[in-house]
Structure 1
């Protein structure tokens, strides 16, 4: 199946040069926020540049994405070239023919060189995309940090201003209950007032956590009983929705330098959220893994999950998807602030087959 004339060779070189020109144009005019059309155009252009293009297929694998042109046979001969971004493997380009008609010698040296050139061009494009994505992420993080800094100062003042009147409301309500011992209606009303004040005081506590007003008491402790006690206190909440929970520790004792109260707050907030969004008879899993340099806490539920539309907002203060009166929107922002103060990280992902998984890391410092 070798080329038989100079004219045929010239035609092949023209096809390859045309492919290079087209690919350069596609990349120059690509939309970095949606590269799929560019990759599809590149695979089609490469297929047309192959010697026996009508019977060839081209596959381009980029991360979890597979782009192809032509019909792939069950058994085939092929050549493969790696695509790298920042010298790290990112994907590959494959060209193949049906094995029933062709053998490994069908590929021209010029075609192999063309694939290598395209792999470099595609790698450069992916690097540009990653740089832009990183710049935008950094910009969003800086903007968020500025907003949180300003909000932290405001909420610290608000928290202090609210504490005094709330203490008065609770104190005088207790005194009034002594004066209306025989008036059930009045006592019921006073209980409602006190419950509302207590709820408001809890919001104030969260504000103080969020604004870092409450001093940390960091000490090296075995976190297993702390987390176990926190989960045990929530047994009634599990029971109300008939939820199962599975708590596991990789080691009998896991030591970490933490603020015990704040760690409890983190577990409470995340598990209460998991309970709230879990379906009846669902399961919540809490895993604590003791790794070489960090401790990893996993909390998984089987709820509806977190949609892409709201995923970047869930750690923002006062953002909540719960109905009015059921959530202050401070829970996850408080958790984020506590973990950050412990020099840890928190991220969320889909829990397969359904639900949400929060992954928390605490460095051993």
Structure 2
């Protein structure tokens, strides 16, 4: 029962963490989408932005308001800091309401070519809003002005209300000061509810960056505590990356563990009835019943340890026998799924080996040519020169050392390919990520040189170890690097950045290619989806990489850079031993 209870509790905690994570990324995606849209509008409507027709500009801004329900107001600013046109959903704005903002800090950010996200504030309608500024053009002489949009957090909360949450749960958004700016029950925001007593908010405030501008807690770990209402809750808190605020999801413990309590009550009742039945039927029936229960518990424990080959023998056709049969079928399905994943991972690995083979052959060709040269030259000299003189002059030693060096080059190249392609059982261990990155770069040395790619590998020590399967992590990094190289056929810069943040290590793979169409980004992790030409990819690389990373307890994402190219992000938890030592 303890095992089942822990499993159910873990499932409840995971669901809460997933909800908080979805809210975090939903808010970030919403802001990112609006930023990208305003940038696109400035590019596609440059003649309207730079023209003198105020009506056209108003129509353009009204179109933006219509398409983004969470917008309250938007203003078009000139390069001199003058508000050219401003439109609002709530009230009419005349030319007298326009002002000069050239001395404000927000405009200075725009003039430097940077977008900005303002702190939440109360507007004249007693609503919580924040500003999003997007520059138009470049910096200095190229700066043409920008857009400043006022976003309603009430509308943002309504937009993320479609995220399914557990019974009795509520979502809170807090700013960098810990003040409530969003709530599932928005009346809490309107009356300026104090939520500082919530342990989730308190922990967020403890995790603020050195300059106090935003929180740095990224993970979503469920904990139990008393909320600001004084009620015992199951809470999850974490960072909203794009805006630097915090999200807290809380659910009363009564609701959170209602299913578990019901299940435990039912199990207790069943056990009580079983005890009564066993007592009445005698020791023989006791033996007949206890044995399969013990085997079922043993089976659950074995499966929990990772033994998916364990099968519980079915000894009867009663209810318990049906449970055992269902348990065996469930484990069989899990094993089949794991086996299919192994086959898919190995197939993708072999496909990558095939694509790498030409490059490896080319790399080996150079040292082999050198070996042929040394052999031919030595044979010719043996025909015309005295062998003892060659030995005394050190020619033999010099040639043998050179031959050994070339053989070592061939061995290193082929060993890297063999290590990558070898099919081994999954085995987690402490792994130092820079070593894996260097092995991957050996495998793709040929296309890097052929395409004139500049490689920029960045990390700072100390960099902790991660507890993962080395071969599978190598497959993920190779897939991301190969995609980056394919995006730069005419040359560019491949940046691999390793980041140690909190209890996570981030792997960023950045290229300077053309990027991915925004409408295609949501499909990149779908199996068999690829934007590459036929024969260049299987469409399984990113899908399999996502399976591997999530099995390692991490997160993988793909995004277009603001300037040029694409950035792939992988976040993995550091090894448990490192966390333990840091705690001590």
In which range does the TM-score fall when normalised by the shorter chain? 0.5 to 0.7
* Residue 239, structure 1, aligned to residue 449, structure 2: yes
Residue 73 in structure 1 maps to residue 100 in structure 2: yes
Partner of 2:50: none
Matches within 5 A, 1:79-228: 90=120, 93=123, 112=124, 115-116=125-126, 122-132=152-162, 134-135=163-164, 153=337, 156=340, 159=343, 215-228=425-438
- Alignment check: 8 A CA contact 1:295 1:363 kept: yes
Q: Distance in 2 between matches of 1:157 and 1:252?
A: 34
The change in CA–CA distance for 1:254 and 1:118 in structure 2 (over 3 A counts) is: closer
In the alignment, structure 1 residue 43 sits paired with structure 2 residue 88: yes
Q: Distance in 2 between matches of 1:320 and 1:352?
A: 22
Contact preservation (8 Å) 1:246, 1:285: yes
The unaligned stretches of length 5 or more in structure 2 are 1-64, 75-85, 105-117, 131-150, 166-332, 351-419, 577-584
Q: Give 1:259's match in structure 2, choosing from 469, 476, 482.
A: 469
Change (3 A) 1:38 1:302: same
Contact 1:224/1:252, CA 8 A, preserved across alignment:
no
Contact 1:279–1:302 (Cα < 8 Å) also in 2: no
SS at match of 2:437: helix
Give yes or no for contact 1:302–1:354 (8 Å, CA) kept in 2.
Answer: yes
- 1:256-312 deviation digits (Å, cap 9, x = unpaired): 111110111011100011001114220100011223301111100011112111111
> Please, which of 83, 97, 101 is the counterpart of residue 56 of structure 1?
97
**Aligned partners of 1:344 and 1:361 also within 8 Å:** yes
Q: 1:341 to 1:75 in 2, by over 3 A?
A: closer
- Post-superposition offset of 1:38: 6.2
Q: Secondary structure at the match of 2:96?
A: coil
User: Do 2:121 and 2:128's aligned partners in 1 also have CA atoms closer than 8 Å?
Assistant: no
Asked if the contact 2:479–2:541 (Cα under 8 Å) also holds between the matched residues in 1, the reply is yes
Tell me how far apart the structure 2 counterparts of residues 341 and 356 of structure 1 sit (CA, whole Å): 24
- Separation in structure 2 between the aligned mates of residue 127 and residue 117 of structure 1, nearest angstrom: 12
In structure 2, distance between residues paired with 1:228 and 1:154? 29
Q: Distance in 1 between matches of 2:510 and 2:533?
A: 22
Q: How many residues align?
A: 227
1:340 to 1:56, Cα distance in 2 relative to 1, 3 A = same
The separation in 2 between residues aligned to 1:56 and 1:236, in whole angstroms, is 62
Q: 8 Å contact 2:479–2:542 — kept in the other structure?
A: yes
1:321 to 517, 521, 531: 531
Q: Tell me if structure 2 keeps the 8 A contact 1:287–1:297.
A: yes
Cα contact 1:298–1:359 (8 A) shared by 2: yes
- Give the aligned partner of residue 305 of structure 1: 515
Structure 1's unaligned 5+ residue stretches are 1-30, 58-71, 78-87, 94-111, 137-148, 167-204
What RMSD, in angstroms, separates the aligned Cα atoms of the two structures?
4.2
Q: Distance between the aligned counterparts of 2:342 and 2:501, measured in 1? A: 40
Residues 75 and 267 of structure 1, relative CA distance in 2, 3 Å threshold: closer
Q: Deviations over 1:67-93 (max 9, x none)?
A: xxxxx235899xxxxxxxxxx954664
- Provide the C-alpha distance between the structure 2 equivalents of 1:262 and 1:334, rounded to a whole number of angstroms: 10
- Aligned residue in 2 for 1:6: none
What secondary structure is seen at the aligned counterpart in 2 of 1:310? helix
Q: Distance in 2 between matches of 1:75 and 1:359?
A: 37
Give yes or no for contact 1:47–1:56 (8 Å, CA) kept in 2: no
Compared CA separation, residues 217 and 44, structure 1 to 2 (3 A): closer
Distance 2:457 2:103 in 1: 50
Deviation of residue 119 (structure 1)? 5.9
Alignment match, 2:208: none
List aligned pairs for 1:25-36, cutoff 5 A.
Answer: 34-35=68-69
Q: Distance in 1 between matches of 2:544 and 2:440?
A: 17
Q: Provide the rounded CA distance (Å) in 1 between the counterparts of 2:464 and 2:127.
A: 52
The equivalent residue for 2:555 is 345
Q: TM-score, normalised by structure 1?
A: 0.52
Q: Aligned partners of 2:536 and 2:454: how far apart in 1?
A: 23
Go from structure 1 to structure 2 and tell me whether the alpha carbon gap of 1:158 and 1:333 turns closer, same or farther (over 3 Å shift).
closer
CA deviations on 1:109-141 (whole Å, 9 max, x unpaired) are xxx5xx325869943222101223x459xxxxx
Distance 2:342 2:550 in 1: 22
Q: Secondary structure at the match of 2:531?
A: coil
Structure number with greater CO (CA < 8 Å, separation at least 6) is: 1
- Deviation of 1:239 after TM superposition, in Å, equals 1.0
Contact 1:251 1:289 in 2 (8 A): no
Q: Distance in 1 between matches of 2:122 and 2:341?
A: 56
The residue number in structure 2 matching 1:199 is: none
Q: 1:125 to 1:278 in 2, by over 3 A?
A: same
Indicate how the Cα distance of structure 1 residues 92 and 348 shifts in structure 2: closer, same or farther if over 3 A, else same: farther
Structure 1: distance between partners of 2:468 and 2:548: 10
